[in-house]
Structure 1
C-alpha cells in the first residue's frame, strides 16, 4: 500500500482536540487522508464499518461507547477478507491502558498530543502498513490485545444465586443455575431459561461482575451463556462459530473476541 492511498478515521468527542490531531497529522504525514471525525463511540463504529479506513484513532473516553468498546464491536463485526485497521488509542491518563499498550499491537498517544510522540506513532504506522503480508493478521492481533484489556471481575464479589425479574404484576425469582443465557437488549437484559424469557432493568456491563465467570462465559458483546448448558461449539464452512445449548433449539453466535474459549484442550 502506498502512502497516497492511506486513509484514517478519528474518533474524538472534544472538537478542539480533534482539530489539533487533524492538524498535527496533516503536518507530519501530508499524504494521509483523513476520512472523517466521529464525535462519539457509536458514530466511530458506524463510520468505520462504512468507510473501512486503514487507521483508526480512538479516544478511550467517549460518550456512547468508549474507544475500547468501539474497538471490540468492530473486531466482532468487521467483514471477512477486509484488512482490519491499525488502531491508535488516544488517552489522557489511563495508566492501565498505557501499560497494556507498551508492547502490543495497537499504539497509543497521550492528550494533549505532542508532535514528538505523534511522529513516533506515524513512523510505526507507516512501517506496519508496509508489511503487507502481516496486515492480514491485524484483526487477530487486536483481538488478542482487547482480551488482555478486559478488566477482571473484582476480587471477593458475591455472585448472584437468583435473578429477580418482573413478569406482569409479579416478581419472579429465577435460580441462576437455570439460566441458559443472558442477552443484552438496549437498556435491559433478557434472561432466557428453557421455558421462559424475562427482562430485567440492568445492563449486561452491570450484571457481568455479579456472575461467576467460571460458569457464565461471555461469547459475544451482547451474550453471556451458562457454560454448564453448552452441548457443542460448531464452526461452519465460513469459519463462523456458534454454540448449541442442551434443551434449546436456537444456536448462539460466538464473536472473534471470545472464540478462544472453544479451542481444543
Structure 2
C-alpha cells in the first residue's frame, strides 16, 4: 500500500489534510505527521514514504530544504497558503502543489497525478531550480522579526549574548546551552522554538539538539567510524552531525 508523510507546523492544517486524504484515497497509509522540516526529514529517512506532503514555510528546514535533502527519493507535494499566481511555475515542474485551504476537487487531481507517478515509477526530479526561484520570491516578501540577542543564566548572573556572537546552541531535555567564544549560559527555550526567531541561513541544524552558526564552522571532517564532526572557531568542542543533516557537508 502507498505511504505518505505530512508536514505542517499547524496542527489543524495537518489534521484536515489527513482527513481529506483518508476520504479521497483510503488505501494511502500516513506513516508520520510532522510539525517542522527537521521532523519531516527524519521521518522520510526513517520510513522512506512514497509521497511527502510538505508545507512550504515551516520552522527550521523549509519545504525546499527537505525536498533538496530527499534528492528525488520520494514524490513531493508542496502545500502553501500563498496566492496561486505566485506558483504558476509549479505547473511546469515534475511535482504538484496544493493551495490552502485545500479544495476536494484539487486534491483529487493531485492524487491522480501522484498515482500515475507511482504506477510508472517516476519520481519528483528536477524541481529545485523552480523551488529556489519561488523560495526567493517568498523571502523577499516575508517580514519576520528576528532574535537579536539572548538572555541566559550563567551561574548566579545573567549573560547577554548578541546573536551574531553565538557559536552554537545545544539542547538536552531541560535546558539549551548558549555558547560563544568567551562565555556560555543556559536557557529553557527548545531548539524548535529558537528556530522560529533565527535566520535559517545562518544557524544550521546539524542534529536534533544542535543549531550551529555557520560562520563559526572552521571545518568538517569524518571520524574513524565514518561519522561527520564539525570544528568550531574559538572553541575546543567538536559537534557531531547526524546522518539526517550530513547532506549539508557534501561537496558539490
| Conserved 8 A contact 2:5-2:49 | yes
How many equivalent pairs are there? 233
Tell me: CA distance 1:155–1:13, structure 2 relative to 1, closer, same or farther (3 Å): closer
Alpha-carbon distance between aligned partners in 2 of 1:97 and 1:220, rounded to the nearest angstrom: 35
1:129 and 2:125 aligned: no
Detail structure 1 runs of 4+ shifted over 6 Å in the superposition: 73-76, 153-159, 236-240
1:166 and 2:153 aligned: yes
TM-score (ref. length: structure 2) = 0.60
Partner of 1:29: none
Alpha-carbon distance between aligned partners in 1 of 2:6 and 2:154, rounded to the nearest angstrom: 44
Alpha-carbon distance between aligned partners in 2 of 1:237 and 1:182, rounded to the nearest angstrom: 25
Q: Deviations over 1:106-153 (max 9, x none)?
A: 4222334233x2343234323433564x64x85x95799489648649
Tell me: CA distance 1:141–1:196, structure 2 relative to 1, closer, same or farther (3 Å): farther
Structure 2 residue corresponding to 1:199, chosen from 171, 180, 186? 186
Q: Who wins on radius of gyration, i.e. which is larger?
A: 1
TM-score (ref. length: structure 1) = 0.58
Partner of 1:109: 98
Q: CA deviation at 1:223?
A: 1.0
Partner of 1:30: none
1:249 and 2:243 aligned: no
Q: CA deviation at 1:237?
A: 9.6
Q: Which runs of 5+ in 2 are unaligned?
A: none
Tell me: CA distance 1:238–1:97, structure 2 relative to 1, closer, same or farther (3 Å): farther
Partner of 1:225: 213
1:41 and 2:67 aligned: no
RMSD: 5.1
Q: Deviations over 1:175-196 (max 9, x none)?
A: 5565322335568642113465
Alpha-carbon distance between aligned partners in 2 of 1:50 and 1:37, rounded to the nearest angstrom: 10
| Conserved 8 A contact 1:57-1:87 | yes
Counterpart mapping for 1:14-29 below 5 A: 18-26=18-26
Q: Deviations over 1:209-232 (max 9, x none)?
A: 5x9x6xx442537413151x3222
